[in-house]
């Protein structure tokens, strides 16, 4: 039995395309989860340098007594100062999600010995990397 090559190609092409698309979609989801876990880990360990690896070139940053758009380097120094002033006792993610454009976000609670902060970040895919565009630590009264 001799089956022409183009007939075989036509029968496996749809399967191959579906398989490749599945891997691409799943790969993006895994990448987003990986970045979320690395960002969470950096915040839990108050490691501003590691966290800044995921900052976009400019970032909207909100912390007590400081709010604005900063360069990556400026934002790292501000976050480092925040972590120094309010070392974490705990950090938990309360909610996270993603949008159709590939952006991911998380809302959490950052607790220091003296204060609790509602924490939010938004990361967007830029040049194949997930980069933080917004980061907020908003004080909450306990």
Strand partners, 28: none
Q: Which pLDDT tens digits describe the chain residue by residue (142 residues)?
A: 555 656 555 655 455 455 444 444 444 444 556 888 999 999 999 999 999 999 999 999 999 989 999 999 999 999 999 999 999 999 999 999 999 989 999 999 999 999 999 999 999 999 889 999 999 999 986 5
Predicted pLDDT of residue 8 = 55
**What's the CATH number of domain 5-140, 3.40.50.300, 3.30.1300.10, 3.40.50.720, 3.10.450.50?**
3.10.450.50
Spell out the domain ranges in the chain: 5-140
Whether the predicted model's global pTM rises above the 0.95 cut: no
Residue 5 pLDDT? 56
Instruction: Write out the DSSP string of the chain.
Output: ----HHHHHHHHHHHHHHHHHHHHHHHHHHHHHHHHHHHHHHHHTT-HHHHHTTEEEEEEEEETTEEEEEEHHHHHHHHHHHHHHS-EEEEEEEEEEE-TTS-EEEEEEEEESS-EEEEEEEEEEETTEEEEEEEEEEEE--
Per-residue confidence (pLDDT) for residue 35, from 0 to 100: 85
pLDDT at 7: 59
């Amino acid at each position: 039995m001799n089956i022409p090559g183009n007939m075989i190609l036509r029968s496996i092409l749809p399967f191959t395309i579906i398989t490749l698309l599945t891997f691409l979609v799943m790969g993006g989801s895994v990448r987003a989860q990986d970045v979320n876990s690395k960002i969470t880990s950096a915040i839990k360990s108050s490691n501003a340098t590691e966290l800044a690896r995921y900052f976009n070139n400019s970032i909207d940053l909100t912390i007590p007594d400081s709010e604005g758009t900063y360069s990556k380097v400026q934002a790292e120094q501000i976050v480092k100062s925040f972590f120094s002033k309010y070392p974490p006792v705990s950090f938990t993610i309360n909610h996270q999600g993603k949008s159709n454009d590939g952006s991911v976000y998380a809302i959490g609670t950052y607790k220091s010995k003296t204060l609790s902060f509602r924490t939010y970040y938004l990361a967007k895919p830029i040049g194949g990397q997930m980069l933080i565009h917004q980061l907020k630590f908003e004080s909450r009264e306990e």
